[in-house]
Amino acid sequence: MAALCLSTGALYAQTTIKGKVVDNNNNPIQGATVTETNSKKQVQTDANGLFEFPSTGSSLNISIQYIGFETKTTQTNPTGLTTVQLLPSTALLDEVVVTALNISKEKKTLGYSIQEVKGKDLSEAKESNLVNSLAGKVAGVQVTNSQGNMGSSRIIIRGETSIAGNNQPLFVIDGTPVDNSQLGTSGNRDYANAISDINSEDIESISVLKGPNAAALYGSRAAAGVILITTKSGKKRKGLGININSNNTIERLAVLPDYQNVFGQGADGKFSYVDGKGGGINDGVDESWGPKMDGRLIPQFYSHGEAVPFLPHPDNVRSFFGTGRTLNNGIS
């Protein structure tokens, strides 16, 4: 009876063959692909780097692959835990990009044009509007910033695709389509685009899908292309890591229209000027068809009835604008 119990226990212990995949620092690797070379069966390691196969009563030949590490082939231990250490690869990696539905594929296997921008490239010279960060980083992409640092931005891929329709690409954030329309344009107001609410520090990568073939999965809304945004997620790391970044942007007015500084306000070709208090035919208009600003003493709208020199103010528009400063700090 004792011999029978021991035999049963031995058979139960050998129902699975387990292993663990670690890196060169003995940290577990999650998501490594482990292939049993004979049956071609594949499994992936869990968060602790562990994997398992059904036991065959003998050792298994396995191959372990993970992006950024050398592929390793070894044999499992049929009676205990097999620990496999992967070494960083020194060879040039095939570029891996995020395609539709957040599926990662090697770029060379795709049948359409796609370009990826890493999140760290967006943070080096951070913009308040994420769309502006793509300017000059993706071929065939044109970014137009209409209202300065905090205003809305327009982006098109490979030029205009429609005369009357929307030429901007569809934005997809972690699989969710997002409307990037510009709102509140009436009344000379600009409330920016929806994408401007995204913090570039939260971006893991951005994939720009160009052409109808790349965007076919998202339908007619993606006729002008798709911009896939993948945000960062929690990752296991050794020790405490703190990231601090700071970005300071200074803006000044560059160009103004040319203004004439010879004639004052007036309209209808009438140049007579009375008193600046509503008694003249030229009071209250903004056209410059009035008398010559030659320094004559005239009560004006801001002088409270006192006669003051009627002179031009050539810098009044430029003096209205100050220096804009945007300070963007982040800690994580």
The predicted pLDDT at position 188 comes to: 62
Alpha-helix residue ranges (DSSP H) falling in the chain: 2-13, 119-123, 211-215, 316-320
| H helix count then E strand count, the chain | 4, 20
User: Given this model, what pLDDT does residue 85 score?
Assistant: 92
Confidence class for position 242, pLDDT limits 50, 70, 90: confident
Q: Could you tell me if 210 and 142 are in contact, meaning their C-beta atoms sit under 8 angstroms apart?
A: no
Instruction: Retrieve residue 309's tokens.
Output: 């020199």
The predicted-structure confidence for 246-278, as pLDDT tens digits, reads as follows: 878 888 888 899 989 998 877 665 555 555 555
Sign of the CA dihedral running 50, 54, 58, 62: negative
Mean pLDDT over each residue of the chain, to the nearest integer: 77
Cα-Cα-Cα-Cα dihedral of 204, 209, 210, 212, to 10°? -160
Kindly report, residue by residue over 135-172, the tens digit of the pLDDT: 888 888 888 776 666 667 778 887 776 676 677 888 88
Is the pLDDT score of 6 beyond 50? no
Question: Angle at the Cα of 103 (from 102 to 105), degrees rounded to 5?
Answer: 135
Confidence of residue 7 (pLDDT cuts 50, 70, 90): very low
Q: Which residues contact 75 (CB under 8 A, 6 or more apart)?
A: 59, 60, 61, 62, 82
Domains, in order of start, for the chain: 15-85 (2.60.40.1120), 96-231 (2.170.130.10)
Q: Which residues contact 305 (CB under 8 A, 6 or more apart)?
A: 277, 299
* pLDDT for the residue 114: 76
Tokens matching residue 191:
């409330």
Q: Is the pLDDT of residue 229 over 50?
A: yes
Q: What is the pLDDT of residues 18-67, one digit of tens each?
A: 899 999 889 999 888 999 888 888 898 998 999 988 887 788 889 998 88
- Answering whether pTM is above 0.75, one says no
